[in-house]
């Protein structure tokens, strides 16, 4: 079977903020909630992602509906009781990524991305879905995650774009 499958167990997945907003923009929310109800995927939320969704301006609209409320409601529907809070251990791991990371992108801008990856790594999640190929899932960042996670004995999640993840979970 496909390399992402885990012997009839649901995939353990974290969506980056940009994945939530893309799903909403494409109006594909029901497709992903069905994955939860069919027990094919367990979506894990993280306090950083929820904070970013809360930061969406209250005035932003999607088809006459409040975009911020839609994003937060959708987050809660997908994540259900699998919401993870930031811990000191995650901050320490993210700090190690910072020290290893060497790129033109400001480390300050990368901090939230590093926390998200630290959360996924510590909780042994299979996949992080992000459309952020220039920073979070860049080859330079992934080398830093792999090196540090190996040292700390954590597995590094796979990074997939929303499009690739969708093609995998919704085969034609």
Both structure tokens of 74: 């959708």
What's the confidence (pLDDT) of residue 6?
A: 56
Assess contact for 93 and 148: CB atoms under 8 A: yes
Integer Cα distance of 149 and 163 in angstroms: 26
Are residues 113 and 98 in contact, defined by beta-carbon separation less than 8 angstroms?
Answer: no
Tens digits of residue pLDDT in 91-139: 999 999 999 998 878 878 899 999 999 999 999 999 999 999 988 999 9
pLDDT for 40:
92
User: What pLDDT does residue 120 have?
Assistant: 98
Query: What local confidence, expressed as pLDDT, does residue 1 receive?
Result: 34
Helix (H) or strand (E) run with residue 68 in it: helix 67-79
* Residues of the chain scoring pLDDT < 50: 1-2
Give the Cα separation of 152 and 18 in Å (integer).
28
């Amino acid at each position: 079977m496909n390399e992402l499958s885990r012997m009839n167990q649901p995939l353990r997945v974290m969506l980056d903020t940009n994945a939530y907003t893309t799903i909403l923009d494409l109006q594909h929310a029901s497709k992903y909630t069905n994955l939860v109800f069919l027990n094919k995927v367990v979506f894990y939320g993280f306090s950083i992602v929820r904070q970013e969704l809360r930061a969406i301006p209250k005035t932003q609209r999607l088809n006459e509906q409040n975009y911020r409320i839609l994003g937060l409601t959708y987050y809660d529907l997908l994540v259900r009781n699998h919401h993870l809070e930031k811990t000191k251990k995650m901050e320490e791991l993210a700090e190690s990524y910072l020290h290893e990371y060497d790129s033109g992108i400001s480390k300050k801008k990368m901090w939230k991305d590093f926390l998200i990856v630290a959360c996924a790594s510590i909780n042994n999640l299979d996949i992080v879905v992000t459309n952020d190929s220039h920073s979070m899932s860049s080859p330079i960042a992934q080398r830093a995650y792999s090196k540090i996670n190996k040292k700390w004995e954590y597995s590094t999640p796979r990074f997939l774009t929303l499009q690739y993840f969708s093609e995998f979970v919704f085969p034609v």
